[in-house]
Amino acid sequence: MPVEKKATKYKKSPLKKKELEYFRKIIVDKLAKSEDQLDRMKKRFVDAQEDASSVSAYSMHMADLGTDNMEKEKLSLMIARETKYIGYLRRALERIDNKTYGICKVTGHAIAKERLEAVPHTEISIKAKLAQSK
């Protein structure tokens, strides 16, 4: 009968310096892409605002106005979502800097490297995530 291995609780990252730098690179790349994406979305939003202000409400069909408003609302939600994601990535970089990256904030145990590669900004292990969703 196999003996169940007890998980170790960590105060400092269980990852080696080289591994932390590997994850830093992944996060920095994702952060750069997200910030670029956010800039493009903000520009589209400003352009949509300017277009809307230059056209009088009476010169457009009501359906077109509704579509334009819906597009601006959608862009606004996407901007908020991207901003939130950028915050997660920045906090992950802070955790790398203070050597707490890769530790589950719920259990205190190490987060699997495979999970960190899939979701590099995660703060919780799969076990804790599954427990939350129940």
pLDDT digits (tens, 9 = 90+) for 10-19: 788 899 999 9
What is the phi/psi pair of residue 30, to 5°? -65, -40
Q: Whole-angstrom Cα distance, residue 55 to residue 125?
A: 51
| Reported pTM | 0.79
pLDDT digits (tens, 9 = 90+) for 92-110: 999 999 999 999 999 999 9
What is the phi/psi pair of residue 9, to 5°? -85, 140
The tokens of 52 are what? 């809307």
**Is 73 contained in some domain?**
yes
CATH of the domain at 22: 1.20.120.910
**Is 4 contained in some domain?**
no
**Is 74 contained in some domain?**
yes
Tally of domains within the chain:
1
